[in-house]
Amino acid sequence: MPYVGIDLGGTQLRVAVADDRGRLRTVVRHPTEAARGRQHVIKRIVAAVAEALEADGTPAGRVHALGIGLPGPVDPAAGLVISPANLPGFRNVPLNRILTRATGIPSFLHHDAHLAALGEHRRGAARGASELIYVTVSTGIGAGILLRGELYAGAHGIAGEVGHIVVQRDGPLCTCGNRGCLEAIASGTGIARAARESAPRRPGSALHGLLEPHAEDVVRAARAGDELATAILENAGSYLGLAMGTLVNLFNPQLIVLGGSVIKAGHFLLGPMRRSMNDSSWKAARRGLRIVRPALGDDVGLIGAVEFARLQARHARKT
């Protein structure tokens, strides 16, 4: 029997219909239109599910389960969307119940970073690993954790908020309200902020005079040999490594999958990250540790959501 997987981001909504073995068969994509509020977004999800099922030639009544991944914080056990920063109007929304009622398909939500970890574990770069962490560094920084091959979400679904480990006391202000979070320093947003703040004082730098420097501008300038850009990436990499070293000591993983757009900065970021990770973790905790790139590309969220639906359906059959 088929499954439905949904990847709901602040910008894009993707819906897939997958076969019994989890292979994606039909995918539809639409803008989320998050700014238009909760009711509008929920309507769009329900309409996109109907569209995908129709394109696939599958009646809703034949679908086993629906899995949906979305930005945290969410509470998977309670089926609640708590308050994602980029989905305005979603405050304590019982989305499992709403989607189950609207589609007639048993629906299960989870944090998107966790589902990406699950997707890589079941079908991507992390197959066969039982203790693994998937870290994604892009606009924000998040992680999904699998222990003994199973998702670890914590008591209320908040585990894995690596981006909000405080790595610098009194450091830059984070979107969460704290200061010195990893995300405020090493995410794409943090790198852009560092460039914006330091470039005006460095007339010799290629970043000087850029009105709104982006993380990609910093990477491009570093590749061209710009000292300021190189130093910004080195600083970001070094703090990223500090947080990764903490994860390594805490969880002693076999595998870290490191993804997200910022990782494309390559050795400018990854060299300092490695050094700092090694300085801040035990050698014994790193024994046999592999750090790899994700294998699933843009569909990772959809594949993770489908795999989650398959797991939930299996749990339901057992109980």
- 20-28 contacts: CB < 8 A, separation 24 or more? 22/122, 22/123, 22/303, 22/306, 22/307, 22/310, 24/299, 24/302, 24/303, 24/306, 25/56, 26/52, 26/55, 26/56, 27/52, 27/299, 27/302, 28/52, 28/55
| CB of residue 72 to Zn ion, shortest distance in Å | 12
The pair of structure tokens assigned to 60 is 């809703």
- By the rule CB under 5 A, 166 interacts with Zn ion: no
Please check whether residue 285 is in contact with residue 248, taking contact to mean a CB–CB distance below 8 angstroms.
yes
- By the rule CB under 5 A, 8 interacts with Zn ion: no
| CB of residue 183 to Zn ion, shortest distance in Å | 5
- By the rule CB under 5 A, 98 interacts with Zn ion: no
Measured from the CB atom, the residue of 156 and 179 that comes closer to Zn ion is: 179
Question: Following DSSP, what letter does each residue of 185-200 receive, concatenated?
Answer: HHSHHHHHHHHHHHGG
- By the rule CB under 5 A, 228 interacts with Zn ion: no
The pair of structure tokens assigned to 58 is 């599958």
Stretch that binds Zn ion, among 73-81, 117-125, 147-155, 164-172 (CB under 5 A): 164-172
Write each residue from 180 to 219 as x if it is in contact with Zn ion (CB under 5 A), else as -, in one continuous string.
-x--------------------------------------
Measured from the CB atom, the residue of 173 and 224 that comes closer to Zn ion is: 173
- For the chain, helix (H) and strand (E) counts, in that order, are 10, 12
Q: Which of 174, 185, 215, 270 binds Zn ion (CB under 5 A)?
A: 174
Strands 66-70 and 3-8: parallel
39-48 b/e (C-beta count within 10 Å ≥ 16 → b) = eebbebbeeb
- By the rule CB under 5 A, 87 interacts with Zn ion: no
- By the rule CB under 5 A, 143 interacts with Zn ion: no
Q: Which of 110, 114, 164, 193 binds Zn ion (CB under 5 A)?
A: 164
Stretch that binds Zn ion, among 56-64, 69-77, 146-154, 168-176 (CB under 5 A): 168-176
Between CA 141 and CA 186 the distance in angstroms is 8
- By the rule CB under 5 A, 63 interacts with Zn ion: no
Strands 141-147 and 150-151: antiparallel
Between CA 221 and CA 206 the distance in angstroms is 6
Total chain residues near Zn ion (CB under 5 A): 5
Measured from the CB atom, the residue of 122 and 164 that comes closer to Zn ion is: 164
Stretch that binds Zn ion, among 27-35, 153-161, 162-170, 252-260 (CB under 5 A): 162-170
Write each residue from 99 to 138 as x if it is in contact with Zn ion (CB under 5 A), else as -, in one continuous string.
----------------------------------------
Q: Which residues lie near Zn ion (CB under 5 A)? A: 164, 174, 176, 178, 181
